[in-house]
Amino acid sequence: MSSITKETVCYVADLARLYLTDEEIEQMTESLNKILEFEEQLNSVNTDNVEPMAHAVPLNNVMREDVVEESMPIREAMLNAPDEVEGFFRVPRIIEKD
């Protein structure tokens, strides 16, 4: 069974843009390991000849026709913009400076 190290926690936190304190890293490592242990129970179930399930809801092919609907008013959309310039969402520098 694979166990989660502090390094793994830091890596995942970094990918998710989460900034954790040392204490939180400790806590997360412990919690995530507990979760994994809990899920390990599933390995005791015999799944031979059972097809993998792609979705928890027994439904397929939920589709809509290709019909244009009204979009939201731009003012409303911009209510969520932390920074706006003339109808655009303004975002900070994308590539870090050297």
Partner 1 sequence: MPLEDYTIVIGLEVHAELATDSKLFCGCSTSFGSEANTQICPRCLGLPGTLPVLNKKAVEYAVRAGLALDCKINKFSKFDRKNYFYPDLSKAYQISQYDQPICEHGHVEFYVGGEKKVVGITRIHLEEEAGKSIHSGTSISDSDFSLEDYNRSGIPLIEIVSEPDIRSPEEARIYMETLRSILRYIGVSDCKMEEGSLRCDANISLMPKGATVFGTRTEIKNMNSFRAVQKALEYEAERHAKLLDSGEKIVQETRTWDDNLGITLSMRSKEEAHDYRYFPEPDLVPVILEDEFVTDIKNSLPELPAEKFRRYLEEFGLPEYDAELITADRDLAEYFEAVVAIYNKDYKAVSNWIMGEFMRLMNEQGIEVGEVKIKPEDFAAMLKLMDEGVISSKIAKVVFEEMFNTGKEPKTIVGEKGLVQISDSSAIEQIVADVIKDNPGPVAEYLGGKDKVLGFLVGQVMKLSKGKANPQMANEFLKKALAELSKNQ
Which residues of the chain form contacts with partner 1 (CB under 8 A)? 11, 14-15, 17, 54-57, 59-72, 74, 77-78, 80, 85-96
Nearer to partner 1, 23 or 79 (CB): 79
**Shortest Å distance, C-beta 42 to partner 1:** 16
Q: How far apart are CA 42 and CA 4, in angstroms?
A: 18
Q: How far apart are CA 75 and CA 87, in angstroms?
A: 8
Kindly compute the dihedral angle of the four CA atoms of residues 38, 42, 44, 48, in this order, to the nearest 10 degrees. -170
Nearer to partner 1, 42 or 44 (CB): 42
**Shortest Å distance, C-beta 39 to partner 1:** 15
Nearer to partner 1, 44 or 97 (CB): 97
Q: How far apart are CA 6 and CA 33, in angstroms?
A: 11
